[in-house]
Amino acid sequence: MCSGQCNPFFGTFVHSTPRAAVEILQNCVLGVDDKGKIAFIEKHQDVVSLSEIWGFETSDIRQLGQYEFLMPGMVDTHIHASQYSYAGTALDLPLLEWLNTYTFPVEAKYKDLDFANDVYTKVVRRTLKNGTTTACYFATIHTDASLLLGELADRFGQRALVGKVCMDYNSYPNVKPVVTPRFAPSCSSSLLSELGEIANNNKLHVQSHISENKEEVELVKTLFPGCKSYTDVYLKHNLLTDRTVMAHGCHLTDEELEIFRETGSAVSHCPNSNISICSGMLNVRNVLNHNVKLGLGTDVAGGYSPSMLDAMRRTLDTSKALTIQDPQHKTLSFEEVFRLATLGGSEALSLDDQIGNFVVGKDFDALRVNVCVPDGPIDLFPGEGPKVRQSSYWSFLPSY
């Protein structure tokens, strides 16, 4: 029985489970309780008895159309909200020059709250429009503007982790602070230690960048000569926890991935950015084989697209490029990439007890997808259903 009002949906549900990269549930009824949690998900046999068991009126059922389905909201595990204003430009320099030339001057503008309000409103709305219901954001060093980003995510209904270094506030249920050392080259050892302490004492999430390009890895070696590796820098400063997500990791060694697994830290794979600013190609298969948690990120504006669907496509591209280089490489399937964009992302952000797939007790965090809207971006052909030519569903969904 649902406690209070129960909202039932009837139709097709597509999600991932630990066993199945894509599970398609047809003719099912999913009930959402008055707290927005999934109360039940059952194969539809007899709606009348289901309505009696779960306490809803059959007239309350929201029936999905023949060409519609629900899927979990997508999780962007790494996006710089503050860089959205120049997404799609300034991709002609490698990381360290790119930061100095383009990024730092733009981020300095966030002391102006009007500027922040304009960009942050647009990035939250745009990512929601692209199906990102959860985002792990980098803001800037400005406290007021970072708080504003949290307020806007809350207002527009996006779950978010918002990172302003040393931030520690907790006023929205779906918006949380994330301790955010930018990356090792821009933080002193004492700052990293203090952030590690804050994160551990307050059980906070941590996000940063790691091993994005080779020049940066070499720079970290010279800046932290006492550390065995880039990973060791964060490990020594107590920043690798089971609530940590590190972006990129293109050049992590197997030994470093082992440390990620042991500490429960996650990698955010940002393939658009990795190619756009020529950083490297992460071998996702190798990361997964090490049992390291992995989600996908857009990394706006190193990545030029705010769309998670783009992140999924670029993940496949990079995986295929690795197969071209080495035919022994086991290419990722689109089903696996769907899982990385949803369940994988929720695991990477340690939010998988709340979101990521359709499981009783989790929040009902879903996208309603209609592949047959008038003037839509794809054409359907006779005989196509959810299980026929599945790839057409994922390859051609629009991004805005």
Q: List contacts with ligand GUN (CB under 6 A).
A: 80, 95, 99, 103, 182-183, 209, 212, 273, 299, 302
Shortest CB 226 distance to ligand GUN, Å: 22
Shortest CB 297 distance to ligand GUN, Å: 9
CB 220 within 8 A of CB 230: yes
Residue 305 binding: pick among ligand GUN, Fe ion, none (C-beta 5-8 Å cut-off by kind): none
CB 28 within 8 A of CB 82: no
The smaller minimum CB distance to Fe ion, of residues 33 and 299, is found at: 299
Percent helix / strand / coil, the chain, rounded to 5 = 40, 20, 40
Using CA atoms, how far apart are residues 394 and 390, in angstroms rounded to an integer? Answer: 7
The smaller minimum CB distance to ligand GUN, of residues 216 and 352, is found at: 216
The smaller minimum CB distance to ligand GUN, of residues 314 and 362, is found at: 314
Rounded to 10 degrees, what is the CA torsion of 156, 78, 130, 65?
A: -90
DSSP 65: P
Residue 159 binding: pick among ligand GUN, Fe ion, none (C-beta 5-8 Å cut-off by kind): none
Distances (CA, A) of 104 to 75, 79, 141, 182, 186: 26, 16, 11, 12, 12
Q: Are strands 159-163 and 175-179 parallel, antiparallel or unpaired?
A: parallel
Residue 176 binding: pick among Fe ion, ligand GUN, none (C-beta 5-8 Å cut-off by kind): none
Position closest to ligand GUN via CB? 302
- Angle subtended at Cα 64 by Cα 58 and Cα 70, rounded to the nearest 5 degrees: 115
Q: Is 216 in the site for Fe ion (CB under 5 A)?
A: no
Q: At 107, which amino acid appears?
A: E
Shortest CB 77 distance to ligand GUN, Å: 13
Where does this chain touch Fe ion (CB under 5 A) — which range of 90-98, 102-110, 178-186, 292-300?
Answer: 292-300
Residue 40 CB partners (closer than 8 Å, separation 6+): 2, 29, 30, 31, 54, 360
Strands (E), 34-158: 38-43, 62-63, 68-72, 74-80, 132-138
The smaller minimum CB distance to ligand GUN, of residues 78 and 205, is found at: 78
Shortest CB 221 distance to ligand GUN, Å: 16
Convert residues 241-260 into a mask of x (bound to Fe ion by CB under 5 A) and - (unbound): ------x-------------
Using CA atoms, how far apart are residues 251 and 220, in angstroms rounded to an integer? Answer: 13
Which residue from 33, 76, 107, 299 is in contact with Fe ion, where contact means CB under 5 A? 299
Shortest CB 58 distance to ligand GUN, Å: 51
Residue 77 binding: pick among Fe ion, ligand GUN, none (C-beta 5-8 Å cut-off by kind): none
Interface residues with Fe ion (CB under 5 A)?
247, 299
